[in-house]
Structure formats: structure tokens, C-alpha cells
Structure 1
Amino acid sequence: MNAPDRLPVPDPQALSAYADEAWKQRILPALVDYIRVPAKSPMFDKDWAQHGYIERVLQDAAQWVESRRVPGLKLEIIRLPERTPVIFFEVEATASGGSGQTVLFYGHLDKQPEFTGWRSDLGPWTPVVEDGLLYGRGGADDGYAIYAAVSAIEALKAQGTPHPRCVGLIETCEESGSFDLPAYVSALGPRLGDVGLVVCLDSGAGNYDQLWLTTSLRGMVSGVLKVQILTEGVHSGDASGLVPSSFRILRQVLDRLEDARTGALLPPDFHVEIPQDRIEQARATAAALGDEVWKRYPWACGNDGTPALPVTTDPVEALLNRTWRPTLSVTGVDGFPELSQAGNVLRPYTAFKLSLRLPPTLDGNSAALKLQQLLEDNAPYNAKVTFHADGRAGALGANGWNAPSLQPWLATALDAASQAHYGAPCGFIGQGGTIPFMGMLQEGFPKAQMMVCGVLGPKSNAHGPNEFLHLDYARRLTAAVAQVVAAMP
């Protein structure tokens, strides 16, 4: 349906000016302080409660919001026993602010671990502003979200623009799979209200030239695959040729899952038929981005001095590979000594941390069970082969998400906001990452529209070294979000 006439409508230039001032004067200083805090997610900091870093960024964000004194805004830090805390805020609708539906803003404050390879003058906990980019862990993924969301609401109030009821849910275990979030969604259910629009600010962008709407997210199974052949290490000269290498056995086991030559996942159970509308959107996005789809990554140079190559240079296939096709990554190893300490010893075991990205519509828990069976059954040489998934809260794997069809009002509002604040139409792109919250919200509010967007554009490198937040893009996104919220019927 079309949005009803509503006066006054927001002035895009005024929204942009407000967002610019908010970022320069208030949001950027807050994010500089936020980056300094190593608030690693519980999966990477088992003693997170004792260390107090998550508590610090939570309190800092809450105090910042309360200091803004937004008319009608109420904020709480909510704690359930034995769970990471969340921030919940709500702002009542203006008198002429719509039909009673709610806008739900989502973000998180926990961070990925440090990782290696940071530029010598940068670091995960060292905020640096350079050439319009804020470097440091977590600013773009996703510490800015609560500050941008509240500033978008403020921008509307500054103009006297009517707006619907808004609530915010900011969690602190997203990077661990959001295992605590279902309990909070259940506990807060009555207070969330009739959610008509979800604004998730934890996603990515195809470029920095337009507003990008995320159309899908992959699911994931992560866990540890371990192959053990001995109870202790032995002299390699004495045993090699007789005792099989645990690494070679692990390679054989992984060959059941992945074609090592192409990277394609072999079992059909991990594939789905890609919807035709997503294929068409991938073609349109590939036409807009071209080779930047794959050139955006920090390729090393080969032995001949030319850059390394991707799995495919076809932009359409590249987009579908990273959004709708399952892929395997090895993200960690155990059982190996450091190179400087590697003697002539045949190691007793090899362990890999696996990250299996799944198509958006595949059930993550079922995939985890099938993966475990595939890897553990009929072990070569009768070795001890185990796979332990990282899943928690009763689920071994995380589900992906496929966005519902856009209602006309939202499609119109997104394009208008992109044109107003970026000078280009709204783009549509699937993302390869996982945000478990989106599937939960889709189940709980099946009629809600989804504005999933974010600032993780080319080379922003979330989770890796030199992560940055593109400040101008984030400012424009804040203004665009405000404009879309005001358009909600």
C-alpha cells in the first residue's frame, strides 16, 4: 500500500546536516573511546564477565544515549541470569506518527578478536582517523549502530517530523552466534510491540556510492575437526612410512566435503536451488560493480609478480558464490608447534577450526548433524576423528536468512533516501556473513519489513586486520535511515 500523506515531511538536506554534525561532534569521539576497549565476544574471551570490557562499552553506550535527553526516550540495561546483557531503549511515537507499528533497531557491541597483520601504525585497540576512515576493531562491525540509530531519531525530532514508535535492541554476543538473544527476544516480546520494520545496521555495502539493502545472509556451521593417530609424538625418522600422518588423514576426510581443486562443496545436502529473483539481482549488482566484486580484496602477488586470482572472475558467479553457495574455510589450527620449535617429530594429532558457510535457506542445525556424520564415519586407518560444532543454546548451526519481498512503500522510500543522500539509486546485494538475529526476527514478526544495511564496504575488512569505518558513508547512512523511518506508513 502507499504511505499516507504526512506533514511535515523531513527535509533531506536538514537530515544530512544534522547527521554530519552528530558524527563530527558526538558519534566519532564515542567510537574512538569504544575502539580502545577490547570487548571481545564471549567465544573469544571466556572470562568476559570478570574482565569487564563488555560491561564498559555497554555502560558507555547507555550513558551516551541518556546524555542526549531525547524526548520520550527510555533506556534500560537488561540482564538475564548467566547471560550477556543487552541494551533496550524505546521512544514513543509522535501524536501523528502512524498506525501503531514499531520500528526495531538492532546492533551489537561485542567484538571479534585481534587477528594478525595490522599495519605497523595501526592496531585493533588503537583508533586512528586517516583519510576519512576510522581504523580499529568493532567501529564498523557494529559499534556505531546504537549511536547512528539514536541520532537518526534525533534528526527527525529536530525537524518536528512525525515518526512511529521506535525501540532498540543492542546485544553483546553477536560475534559468538547470538546464543543469548532468543531468551531476550522472548522476555521482551510484549515490549517490542507490533514490529512493522526492522532496521539492522550490521551488514555491508557493495560500494560507498549508494545505499545498499541486504537481500540475504548465509547460515553457518563452525567447529573443530580433530584427527588423532597416536597418544604422543614420535621421531619422524623412526615412524614415518609406517604411522600415517594425522594431517594426511585430515586431508582425506576433508576431501569428502570439498573439491580441493575448485573449492566446490561436494555433498548435495549442503546446496539449495537459488531463487530466480536473487539471480536477477546478482546480475544487476554485477553490472553496477563489475570487476570490483573481486578486485576489492587484498590479493598477494604470485611468484611472477602478478596478483593472485579469485575462484572466478565472472562478477555474477562471484556474487552467487559468496551469498548462495556453500563454502568451507579453515580459520584455525592446533597440534602444530611454531616453526621455530618444529623438530623432526611425527605429531600425534591435527585439529582444524572449520567455518562452513551455508545457503540462506538451508537449516543450520540439520547441516551440522550431516557434517558431523560425513566427517566422522569410516575414518581412514581407524583413526580417532571427531567434529564438535560450536553451536550453543540447543542449535549446532546458525540459520541464514532470505529477505521478504519489499512492500511498495519501503521500495520507494529506500530509493528516495539513496537518491537524496548518495545521488544514486538503492542497490541490492546478498551478504556472505551470518546475523542469526534476522532469522529470529523473521520468525517472530513474519509480516515485518526488513531494512538490513551497514557500512562494511570494500576493504573495510571486518574481523581481519586494518578494519575501518568509512565515516562519510556512515553519516549518509544515518540520514538515509531517518528518512526511511519517517516514511513508514
Structure 2
Amino acid sequence: MNAPDTLAPLDPAQLHRFVDDAWRERIVPSLIDYIGVPAKSPMFDPDWEKNGLIDKVVRDAADWVLSRKVPGLTLEVIRQEGRTPVIFFEVAATKPASTQTVLMYGHLDKQPEFSGWRSDLGPWTPKIEDGKLYGRGGADDGYAVYAAISAVEALKAQNVPHPRIVGLIESCEESGSYDLLPYLDLLRPRLGEVSLVVCLDSGAGNYDQLWLTTSLRGNITGTLKVEILTEGIHSGDASGLVPSSFRIMRMVLDRLEDSKTGRLLPEAFHCEVPSERVAQARATAHILGDEVWKRYPWACGADGAFALATDTDPVEALLNRTWRPTLSVTGVDGMPSLQNAGNVLRPFTAFKLSLRLPPLVEGHTAAVQLKALLEDNAPYNAKVTFHPDGRMNDWGATGWNAPTLAPWLEAAMDTASRRHFGAPLGYIGQGGTIPLMNLLQQGFPMAQMMVCGVLGPKSNAHGPNEFLHIGYGTRLTSAVAEVIAAHP
């Protein structure tokens, strides 16, 4: 697309200098402090209130924002009893007669440590190497609030008019954002007429251009447990008579997944991929090629991954990770370590399941169906239970399919990408889940969505060696400033 230069009169060189200084002098030092705090999301730290770590990163971010003394900015940390806090800030409009609002979103809670970090790295020990800031949460997405405020500051540094801007920074996203809806209900009268949502919690296909997220998958997480005995017994005494809880677990999962292909069997968990998304996947596949599947840390190396990847056609690979349901087992209980594994028939096996849903499949309905599928008519009349995470009415997160782009926004993002990256705007679906996006789409059906982020190749959010690509974050901040300036 050859987009016209439609942006407001910003000096790109001055913008670049301002944002580059902001990242080097203020954002990166703040993120180093942030990474050092194990502010795990409530799902992974049930004692989060007592431990006070979420409160610390929220308080630190709020203090940083206030220290910038942005003209027209007000901020408050809002707390409801028993719920994680949110930061809400507001920047008054400077564009004459503007009645619309830009909503900027991010989160400060983190995933747990995970294993496998490089010996010189760790989740809570920040380190900068080759332009990358390593550590848990910097890219996913502690940087968001700092980048959002710096983008606003960059506009004000050049006296560029802007609409009213509000920010919503939550601390429950990695647990499914179940605390967020009550805050949205509380803040709805104060959000105003939201015409553009800027979400900085997504990913990028490469580090060479601005990427717009076009869809997000939904997700169901929960614990599947198979119980066959009240206590472990000698395997030589009982095996062959007492069925293994692990074998029953396999039988139950066979109801859900074809183990040979990975395809989920219930048709209710699938949806038709819109033709626009297929066309965008083809265009993205042309840009990324085999890197779509080669970029992962395959045990056999990238050259040997051809036989391991479920599909090496770049288009199908993109659709598999964004529009097709998949099952992952992310945790296990009831099994001793290899060192402590005696000849014992174990009384139970429990798996933590993560089931990614296509963007157009309703999450709660799918969670109810999944529970029935796994529990009903258990093999051997074993005790089989599936407990979805979250409160009963909040089981499952629904995905999101972006609305049709307004011409001004598409042109503004493309021009910003060309200015700051030297390449056109890219379009990519993401396989992860941001529950807020579907909530905002329902609450503000006329709003445009700029969903983007710094989670590019090998950034490895949730896993070991997570990093934030500092150069990409800097250019993304400049692009966000330009798009806000172009808001009609």
C-alpha cells in the first residue's frame, strides 16, 4: 500500500531524538527496576495482597508517571477490595473542539519464573545484551505505561494538538483479566467517547516494521485430574489390575484431541476463517517466509525442524497459530521427579491444560462444553474432574477479531511504519489472548483498534530468556505518537 503522508506536522528527527532519549534515560532504567520485582499475577501468587509486589510495581509506575509532570495529566490508582489495582490516567485534549478519546492499555502483572533460563540470566535479574533487555515482564508488557506516557510527552514537546487521552493499566491480565470488568464498569462514565484504543500488549512478526495485530485467540485454562486410588501402592502388586491414572488421562484427552495431528475434535471449538484474514496471512507469509516456523528453539535445530513442525507451509502455519484451536499441557501434578520415582502405582494424575480458541468462538460456552466433555462417562468409572480457572461465571476468555480499519488509521500506521522502520505496515494475527480487547470491542463498538507490541521473534514471553528489543520499543513509541497526532 502506498499511503499518502497524512500525519500531523511532526518533525520526525526531533521526535526520534526525544523518544530515543526517553528510552535511554528514563524508560530502560525504570524497566530494570521493574524486572527485579517478582510481581506475579494472582493466579500464580494467591497471596499477592500480603506479599505486596503487585502493589509495588503499580505504585512505582504511578510515581514515575506523576514525576514527568505532563501538562494536563491527572492520575489515580484505583483499588477495590480483594481485587488487583489499576492505574487510571487522563490527559486533557489540546485539539480544538475534540470530543473523542484515545484509550491506551497495558498491564504490570507477570507470568511466573519458568525453568531453562540461560546460566547468566534469570527472570528477576535484568541484563542488557546486544540491544535486548532480558528479564520477566519487560516486554509483556511492563514497558507499556512508560512508552504510552513518553509518546504523549513527545507530542507536547512539539506542541502538536491531540485528542483527550486516557490510560488503563491493569495488574490481572496474566490471570485472564477477571478483575478488570468491575473496573471497566466503574470507569465507564469517565472513559468518554472512545474512538481509538492503543493496546501495547501484543507482538510483531519481525523487528523491521510496524505490525498491527488483526486477531487474538481466546483461551481456556484449568486443571484436569484423574483419581483412581486414595494412596499410592506397589506397582508390582497392583499393575495389571488397577488401571493407571495416566492411561485414563490419555483416554480422556483422546476425546478432545487427535494425538496424531493435534487437531481438536469437537467442531464447536472451530470457526471459519474470514477471507480477509486468509488474504492477510498470505501477505504476511510472503514477508516472513519459512521464518514463521523456523524461528522457534527446536531441539533438533532449525534445519531439522521440517519434520517436527505441524505445517511448514507459511500460510497454513500462520493460520494454525492464530485461527485454529490447539491444546497444550502446561503443568503436571501427581508425578514425582525422576530421581524420586519409585515403583509405585500413583493414586492420581493432574494436568494443567491451556486450550487456545479461534477468535470467533465464545470462551465461556466453550469452557462449559469442555468440562462436560472431559468429565462425563469417565473410563473405569474413575474420578475425573476438570476445574476451569477463574470464577464460575468468568470461565474462558473469548478471542477478538479486529474491526475494519478506518482509512485514516490504516494510512497513519503505514506512514508511521515507513518513517520509523523504513518498511510498510505489516498485518498479523496473534495466537495469544488479551481478554480486554473483546470487552472493549463490545463496550465501544465504533472504536478503532491499534493493537501492537514488542513481542517479536525469540522474545519468548512466558518462557525462559524473555527479552525486550529496545530498538523496536523505541521506534514503536514514535509510531504511536505519530498515529495519535493523526487522529482526525
| Range class of TM-score, shorter chain | over 0.9
Contact 1:301–1:307 (Cα < 8 Å) also in 2 = no
Matching of residue 253 in structure 1 with residue 225 in structure 2 = no
Matching of residue 80 in structure 1 with residue 80 in structure 2 = yes
Contact 1:403–1:450 (Cα < 8 Å) also in 2 = yes
What's the CA shift string for 1:96-115, capped at 9, x where partnerless? 3x631000000000000000
Q: CA deviation at 1:391?
A: 2.7
- Alignment partner, residue 266 of structure 2: 267
What's the CA shift string for 1:456-489, capped at 9, x where partnerless? 0000000000000000000000000000000011
- Alignment partner, residue 55 of structure 2: 55
Contact 1:300–1:307 (Cα < 8 Å) also in 2 = no
2:79 partner letter: R
Contact 2:7–2:486 (Cα < 8 Å) also in 1 = no
Contact 1:41–1:110 (Cα < 8 Å) also in 2 = yes
Q: Does the C-alpha gap of structure 1 residues 393 and 54 become closer, same or farther in structure 2, counting only changes over 3 Å?
A: farther
What TM-score, normalized to structure 2? 0.97
Matching of residue 381 in structure 1 with residue 380 in structure 2 = yes
Contact 1:218–1:360 (Cα < 8 Å) also in 2 = yes
Paired with 2:210 and 2:44, the residues of 1 have a C-alpha distance of 32
Contact 1:291–1:313 (Cα < 8 Å) also in 2 = yes
Contact 1:103–1:166 (Cα < 8 Å) also in 2 = yes
Paired with 1:89 and 1:75, the residues of 2 have a C-alpha distance of 4
2:283 partner letter: A
Once the two structures are overlaid, the 10-residue window that deviates more, 74-83 or 457-466, is: 74-83
Q: CA deviation at 1:17?
A: 1.3
- Alignment partner, residue 298 of structure 2: 299
Once the two structures are overlaid, the 10-residue window that deviates more, 282-291 or 384-393, is: 384-393
Contact 1:215–1:403 (Cα < 8 Å) also in 2 = yes
Paired with 1:17 and 1:402, the residues of 2 have a C-alpha distance of 35
1:330 partner letter: V
Contact 1:299–1:307 (Cα < 8 Å) also in 2 = no
Q: Does the C-alpha gap of structure 1 residues 21 and 246 become closer, same or farther in structure 2, counting only changes over 3 Å?
A: same
Q: CA deviation at 1:309?
A: 2.2
Aligned-partner SS, 2:393: coil
- Alignment map for 1:409-448 (pairs within 5 Å): 409-448=408-447
Matching of residue 218 in structure 1 with residue 217 in structure 2 = yes
- Alignment partner, residue 172 of structure 1: 171
- Alignment partner, residue 308 of structure 2: 309
Contact 1:15–1:479 (Cα < 8 Å) also in 2 = yes
- Alignment partner, residue 138 of structure 1: 137
Q: Does the C-alpha gap of structure 1 residues 306 and 269 become closer, same or farther in structure 2, counting only changes over 3 Å?
A: closer
Paired with 2:321 and 2:224, the residues of 1 have a C-alpha distance of 23
Contact 1:299–1:308 (Cα < 8 Å) also in 2 = no
- Alignment partner, residue 23 of structure 1: 23
Paired with 2:304 and 2:17, the residues of 1 have a C-alpha distance of 46
Q: CA deviation at 1:392?
A: 2.5
Paired with 2:338 and 2:108, the residues of 1 have a C-alpha distance of 36
1:478 partner letter: T
Q: Does the C-alpha gap of structure 1 residues 285 and 381 become closer, same or farther in structure 2, counting only changes over 3 Å?
A: same
Paired with 2:7 and 2:397, the residues of 1 have a C-alpha distance of 43
Paired with 1:415 and 1:199, the residues of 2 have a C-alpha distance of 15
Contact 2:6–2:411 (Cα < 8 Å) also in 1 = no
Contact 1:7–1:161 (Cα < 8 Å) also in 2 = no
Q: CA deviation at 1:394?
A: 1.7
Paired with 2:282 and 2:314, the residues of 1 have a C-alpha distance of 8
Contact 2:98–2:164 (Cα < 8 Å) also in 1 = no
Paired with 1:80 and 1:160, the residues of 2 have a C-alpha distance of 37
Once the two structures are overlaid, the 10-residue window that deviates more, 12-21 or 135-144, is: 12-21
Q: CA deviation at 1:95?
A: 4.4
- Alignment partner, residue 93 of structure 1: 93
Q: CA deviation at 1:231?
A: 1.1
Paired with 1:393 and 1:63, the residues of 2 have a C-alpha distance of 36
What's the CA shift string for 1:428-454, capped at 9, x where partnerless? 000000000000100100000000000
- Alignment partner, residue 128 of structure 1: 127
Aligned-partner SS, 1:197: strand
Q: Does the C-alpha gap of structure 1 residues 117 and 447 become closer, same or farther in structure 2, counting only changes over 3 Å?
A: same
Q: CA deviation at 1:305?
A: 7.7
Give 5+ residue unaligned stretches, structure 1: none
Contact 2:8–2:486 (Cα < 8 Å) also in 1 = no
Contact 2:399–2:438 (Cα < 8 Å) also in 1 = yes
Q: Does the C-alpha gap of structure 1 residues 159 and 305 become closer, same or farther in structure 2, counting only changes over 3 Å?
A: closer
Contact 1:222–1:397 (Cα < 8 Å) also in 2 = yes
What's the CA shift string for 1:293-344, capped at 9, x where partnerless? 0111100028x98786211111101100000000000000011011111110
Paired with 2:7 and 2:387, the residues of 1 have a C-alpha distance of 57
Contact 2:117–2:465 (Cα < 8 Å) also in 1 = yes
Matching of residue 198 in structure 1 with residue 204 in structure 2 = no
Paired with 2:430 and 2:458, the residues of 1 have a C-alpha distance of 15
Paired with 2:192 and 2:42, the residues of 1 have a C-alpha distance of 29
- Alignment partner, residue 282 of structure 1: 281
Aligned-partner SS, 1:144: helix
Paired with 1:118 and 1:7, the residues of 2 have a C-alpha distance of 43
What's the CA shift string for 1:63-116, capped at 9, x where partnerless? 1111111001101001112111000000001043x6310000000000000000
Once the two structures are overlaid, the 10-residue window that deviates more, 219-228 or 393-402, is: 393-402
- Alignment partner, residue 461 of structure 2: 462
Q: Does the C-alpha gap of structure 1 residues 308 and 36 become closer, same or farther in structure 2, counting only changes over 3 Å?
A: farther
- Alignment partner, residue 40 of structure 2: 40
Paired with 1:26 and 1:120, the residues of 2 have a C-alpha distance of 28
Paired with 2:189 and 2:307, the residues of 1 have a C-alpha distance of 53
Contact 2:6–2:412 (Cα < 8 Å) also in 1 = no
Paired with 1:452 and 1:187, the residues of 2 have a C-alpha distance of 24
What TM-score, normalized to structure 1? 0.97
Aligned-partner SS, 2:394: coil
1:360 partner letter: P
Q: CA deviation at 1:9?
A: 1.6
